[in-house]
Structure 1
Amino acid sequence: MPKGDDRVQSPSDHVRPVLDENEYDPLEDLFVAQSARPKQLREVNLRALDPYHRALLVIDGTVTKFVEAYTLEPIEVVRISMEERNLPVDHIWLEAPQGTRVIAREVVLQGKYSYRVHAYATSLIIPDRLPDQIRRGLEVDSGGIGRIILNSRLETYREVLWYGKERPEHLPNQIQYLENEDFISRTYRIIANHQPIMLINEKFPTGDDAPSFHE
């Protein structure tokens, strides 16, 4: 029989080393622009986070499906706003010059029955870099961007930029009551055909007793 890989060994084969509690950071090589994070983002003690919020920071699939699997409740993506505007200045992360037409979009992920808010997401999208199917999906579909892209079968790459903890101000009226809550925040961009097509920020409330909102 073929010899197995020597790297796969029983945990009992070795004495487990004693690690300093701050020695291992699973996010160290994931967020490529952590040093450029906005000033309002505070440091996150990963060991103080529950596994649910740690997973939200690193998940590479659709957040909606993950939350549904965790909560065993259907999750609705409620679109709060969507409008076209022009970039006021050059945008380094979208690699787009001043004046580029973008779509600014805000959504909330909430439980279908509990109405509990699980995430608030904002995105800047460059429509001229999108296939027609995705542009149409954004216009008529209030669902999550991840699902719209997945249904289009567009090949994309997600580059996660930074993360942190914040207590956001100026939240939309529908969720303004959450302004006293701490949120875990992460920002990433989606790249297709060697160009950024959108920049997305996701905020996840950390309060165990976060109230719900009705649209």
Structure 2
Amino acid sequence: MQASLINKHINPVNLSPFQRILLTSDGTLTEILEAYLLEKIQLVKLSETLLRVTKYVPALDLDIDTEVIERKILLQGKISLNNFIYAESIIVPERLDAEFKSRLIKSQEPMGRLWLEHRLETFKEIIDSAIEIAEDLSEFFNIGREDKMLSRTYRVFSNKKPIIMITEKFPESYFPKNF
């Protein structure tokens, strides 16, 4: 666990235990956040676009011109309306079951809940973690544009094929050691 963060230039000593859990867990963040915050979490879709990739995407083994869904969402507290996580996904629709794909596009459910609902067998592999500047994402979290965000990127496999790549981000100031 700690080696994966150190290799990505994030010193785990500087993180709170909960920040380390968010960056290294292969569980779904919705349930983890609900347990920690004692609040139901809802999904807010910011965008969902069908497009074709313009370059080879090695993490998903996608050739140029493959159709993907690019999805941007927030995980938000249902009562507080606080945004806790921003996530971007690249989804390969041709590798998904038709019913799952339909629910993913039409529903306001977080992806992890849909995996459970459809009993989708998945394997998740964290491929990156980073510290970056918030810039435009600052508006979702009421922080400065120059404030830092922590992130992780992982691939989701089903039937031994990568089906989704997800990057989840949250402000470095969230979930501090004394929270």
Q: Does 1:175 align with 2:140?
A: yes
The AA in structure 1 aligned to 2:59 is W
Q: Secondary structure at the match of 2:137?
A: coil
| 1:49-128 correspondence to structure 2 within 5 Å | 49-128=15-94
The runs of 5 or more residues in structure 1 that have no matched partner are 1-25, 38-42, 210-215
In structure 2, what is the equivalent of residue 15 of structure 1?
none
Paired with 2:37 and 2:136, the residues of 1 have a C-alpha distance of 28
Count residues with an aligned counterpart.
174
In structure 2, what is the equivalent of residue 3 of structure 1?
none
Q: Secondary structure at the match of 1:93?
A: helix
In structure 2, what is the equivalent of residue 22 of structure 1?
none
Query: How far is the alpha carbon of 1:114 from its aligned partner?
Result: 1.5
Q: Contact (CA 8 Å) 1:170, 1:176: kept in 2 or not?
A: no
Query: How far is the alpha carbon of 1:97 from its aligned partner?
Result: 0.2
Q: Secondary structure at the match of 1:204?
A: strand
Which string of whole-angstrom CA distances, capped at 9 and with x for unpartnered residues, describes residues 147-179 of structure 1?
Answer: 11121112111011011211133339x627543
Q: Does 1:202 align with 2:171?
A: no
Q: Does 1:27 align with 2:2?
A: yes
Q: Contact (CA 8 Å) 2:141, 2:171: kept in 1 or not?
A: no
TM-score after normalising by structure 2: 0.89
In structure 2, what is the equivalent of residue 134 of structure 1?
100
Paired with 1:64 and 1:85, the residues of 2 have a C-alpha distance of 27
TM-score after normalising by structure 1: 0.74
Q: Contact (CA 8 Å) 1:62, 1:146: kept in 2 or not?
A: yes
The AA in structure 1 aligned to 2:41 is I
In structure 2, what is the equivalent of residue 161 of structure 1?
127
Greater Cα radius of gyration, structure 1 or 2? 1
Check 1:76–1:180 CA distance in 2 against 1; reply closer, same or farther (3 A cut): farther
**Larger strand share, 1 or 2:** 2
Q: 2:156 pairs with 190, 197, 205, which one?
A: 190
The AA in structure 1 aligned to 2:39 is E
Q: Does 1:48 align with 2:14?
A: yes
Cα root mean square deviation, aligned: 2.1
Q: 2:114 pairs with 117, 124, 148, which one?
A: 148
Deviates most, 122-131 or 199-208: 199-208
Query: How far is the alpha carbon of 1:192 from its aligned partner?
Result: 1.0
Paired with 1:181 and 1:142, the residues of 2 have a C-alpha distance of 29
